[in-house]
Amino acid sequence: MSAPVLQVEDLRVAIGRREIVHGLTFAVEPEATLGIVGESGSGKSLTVLAATGLLDAPGARVTGSSIVTDGERGAVELVGARPRTLRRVHGDRIGFVFQDPTTSLNPLLTLERQITESLEAHRSLTRRAAAGRALELLEAVGLPDPEQRLRAYPHQLSGGQRQRVMIAIALACDPALLVADEPTTALDVTTQAQILELVRALQRDRGTAVVWISHDLGVIGQVADDVLVLRDGEAVEHRDVVELTDDPRHPYTRELLAARPRLGVPGPPAVDADGGVLLDVVGLDVRFPVTSATGRSFVHAVDDVSFQVRRGSTLGIVGESGSGKSTIAHVLTGLARPTAGTATLAGQDVLGRVPADLRRRIAMVMQDPFSSLDPRMRAGESIAEPLRAHRLPRDGRSPRERVAELLELVDLPADFAGRYPHELSGGQRQRVSIARALALEPDLLILDESTASLDVSIQARVLDLLLRLQAELGLTFLFIAHDLAVVQQMSHDVLVMQRGRVVEHAPAAELFAEPRDPYTRALLDAIPPERPRAALERAG
Amino acid sequence: MSATTEQTAEPTGRLSTVRVLATNPVTVVSAVVLAAVVVVALLAPWVAPYGVNAVDVANALQPPSAAHWFGTDDLGRDLFSRVVVAARVSLQVAVVSVAFAFVVGVAVGVVSGYVGGVVDTVLMRVVDVMFAFPVLLLALAIVAILQPGMATTMLAIGIVYTPIFARVARASTLSVRNEPYVQVARTMGVSGRSILGRHVLPNITGPLIVQTSLSLAFAILSEAALSFLGLGIQPPAPSWGGMLFAAQGFLSQAWWMSVFPGAAIFVTVLAFNLLGDGLRDVLDPKQRTLIESRRRR
């Protein structure tokens, strides 16, 4: 067997006096894929950036060794290499694809210029030869109508298409190693499935070795041959992917495997049918005007949507980005105005001018726990804000007591009231957001992707908390998510949306057992299966 | 498992703002320098060894000596005494005019940015018009209506600096108003006024503090320019800017005439800026945690 493409020995990364990556050793074999998995803060990106010489943080110190080998072109040590050496290696022998396709392309350059940049730098191709190669690459990554696309700008492409272009750029010089850092995290599930398929096909054709970083074991199972599980900068387990999923040795690996959302988990306990209808939405229609140089046009965000939610139950709303699911949440909370339709909460109109006492009966928890709390307010002040706005609680207790009670309700110690958001972890922040929403004493709680940006193990705990709160307080949930597995776990009924329209609306059990609409089926098929692909391939 | 086991940045024992400010030596030095300048300005009549306008033509254009620490000017007036007395005028003009610009400009900018729509368009066009006038022309117009003097100077500089604060406040407000925490506050039925006061204003202080310390510096220089044209502080009352301009003609014969008032402006402006930086860090809870944890170590 030939030498590994990337051989990393005792890699350590320290920032200031604090060591963040503690002596990692791993190798990436030719044509193989190493999956690096870990939760946020585990040092997975830092490790790969340091190993490839891309780490550019003030005060960072990298020690150890990282050698990239590319057939006859010899081996190069990357740790401590001079910028000149690194420039020769980056883009030529190692290609990179990062998480956010919206920001990793230059908005002012055509795709052709962005793809030919590294070809002209490393391969000294003429402009014309490079353009020809760019066309081949766009064809290889499956971009429709590649000739036209060469002259297109990034904003004219969808997120998935942009990620395809990023892959084309990374592969332009036929690198021996492709580094992919969470390349599908920002994409919809169906797009993610396409990108996974694409990378595998390209790898097969070109024999590129891949390092794939992800927080999602499901995705890693689809691409990786070996898996390195990282926690706090240390490798807790490093084994073949099939062995790792079948027989995890380290408790942390077991925890990660158990916490990942899976289809088939039983849903929430059934609710009484005699609770009646709490929320009734009829013919909701939302259009946003878009003013451009060529005139005014309308985006039809929500198109004639009707549904009912029974008191005490959860309606899951599923759809990919742009399906209009968040717009529904914004209309119900007064952040956006509908063009037509009605919505009533226990018979009272909640659109248009709504009295404060009705408004507070609908509360919302947003997706991003980092930005949905004011960075200059302590957790206690944030939770007390709705209390002050509505002069709550009205039973004579002080707001302070109520804040302590709310913190206890979401399993946080009372002294957390004095902490600022940056002193809390992502999961704790989301708990504070939930406590703030509950301060309003709402009937309906809208959860807009509220657990989507949390690590899987923390997501599992927050979901448990939500189920408990629903049982204790008799809350009704509108659970908006893109992750079908999570929706199955939480919902009594499910509404599937595509481009502003409802494509399917059925009780959860029925919908998951027997999806009727082709789009629902496509969404379900796109979920990475529980068994790693390698296991199925080996089985034959 | 309880949520508390998740990894977090541990909060520290909280210190008072002054204690935290005191951990930064640069901030301490700049605060001490500013305090000294203020004390000297207040006690000017007792600090100054000579009368401000005591003319002594026999001793004109003397270099610094034991008798005249900063030397004398073309009329033989003691420069040290004049710099000391001028401190009061210059500081007062700078602080009052910038305070005026801050209050009016930030109010206009925050309302304009948060409310948007027609209100924003109208307010910003007014600000654009004010920007379009050359500073001195605007000041000239104001002085033409009122009488030249200290109050008019402060008003003129204040008005001229207002649009800058309005622009900075509006731009910061625009980015803060779309933050999810502001949206959440709106969905919870929090009133517009409390959103502005509790969420928007605290989160735009960073750029405003930087703008304030820069403006304090420029206000001292603007006052100098106005005084030079005879529209500002009326001679023979001394101001640092006025002294600088008076020194122009003697640049080759009497370096001390420009160096000492210039040094006074330099030191004061630098102290304002460094103190502003220190304040900005302390007012940001995130920076503050860093400072506090560094201190504990």
Q: What is the mean pLDDT of residues A455-467?
A: 90
Amino acid of residue A83: P
Interface of A with B in 334-363 (CB under 8 A): 334-335, 356, 359-360, 362-363
Flag whether B269 is in a domain. yes
Q: Which residue, among A464, A410, A405, has the nearest Cα to A432 in the 3D structure?
A: A410
pLDDT tens digits, one per residue of A67-114 = 988 877 788 899 988 889 898 888 889 999 988 877 888 888 888 888
The residue with greater pLDDT, A493 or B62, is A493
Of A313-322, B89-98, B126-135, B179-188, least confident by mean pLDDT is B126-135
Residue B10 has pLDDT above 60, yes or no: no
Task: List, for residues A25-68, the tens digit of each pLDDT value.
Answer: 999 998 899 999 988 888 888 899 999 988 877 778 899 999 98
Strand partners, A448: A480
In a domain, B64, yes or no: no
Mutate to test the interface with A, among B181, B190, B194, B297 (most CBs of A within 10 A): B181
The single residue listed with the structure tokens 């020769």 is A88
Q: Which residues contact A415 (CB under 8 A, 6 or more apart)?
A: none
Query: Are both A15 and A88 inside the same structural domain?
Result: yes
User: If you average pLDDT over every residue of chain A, what do you get?
Assistant: 89
Give the integer Cα–Cα distance in Å for A62 and A80.
8
**Residue A446 to residue A330: CA distance in whole angstroms:** 10
Q: If pLDDT is split at 50, 70 and 90, which confidence band does B14 have? A: low
Tell me the nearest-neighbour CA distance from A416 into chain B, angstroms.
Answer: 9
Q: Which residue has the higher pLDDT, B54 or A324?
A: A324
The CATH number that applies at residue A492 is: 3.40.50.300
Q: Is the pLDDT of residue B275 over 70?
A: yes
Question: pLDDT tens-digit profile of B173-228?
Answer: 999 988 899 999 988 888 889 999 999 999 998 889 888 988 887 888 788 778 77
The pLDDT score that the predictor gives to residue B167 is: 94
* pLDDT tens, position by position, A223-259: 999 999 999 889 999 999 999 988 999 999 998 888 8
Structurally, chain A folds into a number of domains equal to: 2
pLDDT, position A502: 95
- Whole-prediction pTM value? 0.83
The residue in chain A having the minimum alpha-carbon distance to the alpha carbon of residue B204 is A376
Instruction: Choose the weakest-confidence range: A328-342, B55-69, B281-295.
Output: B281-295
Residue B297 has pLDDT above 60, yes or no: no
- Neighbour tally for A407: CB within 10 Å: 21
- Listed in sequence order, the residues at least 6 apart from B145 whose beta carbon sits closer than 8 Å to its beta carbon are none
pLDDT of residue B7: 44
For chain B, first and last CA: distance in Å?
A: 31
Q: Is A445 on the interface with B (CB under 8 A)?
A: no
Minimal CA separation from B99 to chain A, in Å: 24
DSSP string, A341-382: EEEEETTEE-SSS--HHHHTTEEEE-S-TTTSS-TTS-HHHH
Question: In this complex, do B186 and A334 lie within 8 Å of one another by their Cβ atoms?
Answer: yes
Model confidence band, residue A1 (pLDDT cutoffs 50, 70, 90): low
Of A478, A481, A491, A484, whose CA–CA distance to A520 is shortest?
A: A484
Check B185 against A385: CB less than 8 A apart.
yes
Q: Pick the residue from chain A with its C-alpha nearest to B4.
A: A412
Single-letter amino acid, residue A234: E
Would you call A412 an interface residue with chain B, using a CB distance cutoff of 8 Å? yes
Nearest CA in chain B to A434: B184
Mark whether A12 and A81 lie in a shared domain.
yes
Q: List the single best residue of B1, B6, B178 to mutate versus A (max A Cβ within 10 A).
A: B6
pLDDT at B13: 53
* Number of compact structural domains in chain B: 1
Any domain includes A342: yes
Residue B9 has pLDDT above 70, yes or no: no
Nearest Cβ partner of B2 from A362, A411, A423? A411
Same domain, A252 and A336: no
Q: Are residues A247 and A184 in the same domain?
A: yes
Residues A96, A181: one domain? yes
Compute the CA torsion angle A491, A492, A496, A500 (nearest 10 deg).
Answer: -90
Check A423 against B289: CB less than 8 A apart.
yes
**Nearest by CB: B285 against A362, A376, A437:** A376
Quick check: B241 and B221 in contact, CB under 8 A?
yes
Q: Is some CB atom of chain B closer than 8 A to the CB atom of A413?
A: yes
Q: Which residue of B has its CA nearest to A418?
A: B11
- What CATH number corresponds to the domain at position B205? 1.10.3720.10
Under a CB-based contact definition with an 8 Å cutoff, are residues B184 and A366 in contact?
yes
Task: Tell me the two tokens of residue A463.
Answer: 């979901």
CA-based nearest residue to B290, from B9, B79, B43, B67: B9
pLDDT-based confidence at A263, cuts 50/70/90?
confident
Residue A35: the pLDDT is 94
A423 is a domain residue = no
Nearest CB among B181, B190, B284 relative to A372 is that of: B181
3-state secondary structure of A34: strand
Taking only residues 457 to 476 of chain A, the set having a beta carbon closer than 8 angstroms to any beta carbon of chain B reads 458, 461
Q: Taking the C-alpha atoms of A470, A475, A478 and A482 in order, what is their torsion angle to the nearest 10 degrees?
A: -10
Question: Is the CB of A433 less than 8 angstroms away from the CB of B184?
Answer: yes
- The nearest alpha carbon in chain B to A425 belongs to B8
Give me the residues of B, 233-292, that contact A with CB < 8 A. Answer: 284-286, 289
Q: Do A167 and A126 reside in the same domain of the chain?
A: yes
pLDDT of amino acid B6: 45
Nearest in space to A270 (alpha carbons), one of A434, A508, A23? A508
Whether A203 and A129 map to the same domain: the answer is yes
DSSP 3-state of A228: strand
Q: Is the pLDDT of residue B1 over 50?
A: no
The verdict on residue A250 lying in a domain is yes
Domain coverage including residue B259: 20-52+84-296
Nearest CA-CA distance, residue B233 and chain A, Å: 42
A156 in a structural domain = yes
User: What separation in angstroms does the CA of A223 have from each of A192, A199, B101?
Assistant: 12, 9, 60
Helices (H), A422-500: 426-439, 456-473, 484-490
The answer to whether B184 contacts A425, with C-beta atoms less than 8 Å apart, is no
Residues 197-256 of A with CB under 8 A from B: none
Split at pLDDT 50, 70, 90, the class of A528 is confident
| Position with higher pLDDT, B22 vs B259 | B259
Output the pLDDT for position A426: 86
Out of A360, A362, A425, the one facing B7 most closely (by C-beta) is A425
Structural domain boundaries enclosing A525: 273-361+478-540
Claim to verify: residue A245 and residue A320 sit in the same structural domain: no
Tell me what ipTM this predicted complex has: 0.78
Cβ proximity of A264 and A492 under 8 Å: no
**In the predicted model, is pLDDT for residue B249 greater than 50?**
yes
In the 8-state DSSP scheme, what is residue B135?
Answer: H
- To test the contact with chain B by mutation, choose from A332, A368, A385 the residue with the greatest count of B C-beta atoms within 10 A, namely A385
A34 strand-pairing partners: A211, A226
Instruction: State chain A's maximal CA–CA distance in angstroms.
Output: 80
List CB contacts (< 8 A) between A411 and chain B.
2-3
- Name the CA dihedral angle for A153, A159, A160, A162, rounded to a multiple of 10 degrees: 30
- CB-CB: which of B7, B188, B289 is closest to A389? B188
Whether residue A172 is contained in a domain is answered as: yes
A261 Cα to chain B: minimum distance (Å): 18
Q: Which of B11, B185, B199 is opposite residue A419, by nearest beta carbon?
A: B11
* DSSP at A437: H
Out of A188-197, A377-386, B85-94, B261-270, give the one with best mean pLDDT.
A377-386
Same domain, A51 and A97: yes
Closest residue in chain A to residue B293, using alpha carbons only: A423
Q: Which residues in chain B have Cβ-Cβ distances shorter than 8 Å to A40?
A: none
Please give the structure tokens belonging to residue A175: 């690198």
Tokens of residue A427, six digits:
């999961």
Question: What's the pLDDT at B8?
Answer: 47
Measured CA to CA, the distance from residue A443 to residue A361 in angstroms comes to: 5
Chain B: give the shortest CA distance to residue A407, in Å.
11
A122 with A220, same domain? yes
Among A381, A389, A388, CA closest to A407: A381
Both A177 and A82 in one domain: the answer is yes
Distance CA B24, CA B278 (A): 7
Helix-then-strand count for chain B, H and E: 14, 0
Yes or no, beta carbons of A368 and B187 under 8 Å apart: no
Q: Give the tens place of pLDDT for each residue, A156-191.
A: 888 888 888 999 999 888 899 999 998 888 788 888
**Is A465 within the bounds of a domain?**
no
Q: Is the predicted pLDDT of residue A213 greater than 70, yes or no?
A: yes
Residue B76 located in a structural domain: no
How far is it, in rounded angstroms, from Cα B171 to Cα B153? Answer: 28
Same domain membership, residue A483 and residue A352: yes
Largest CA distance in chain B: 89
Q: Residue B107 — very low, low, confident or very high, per pLDDT cuts 50/70/90?
A: very high
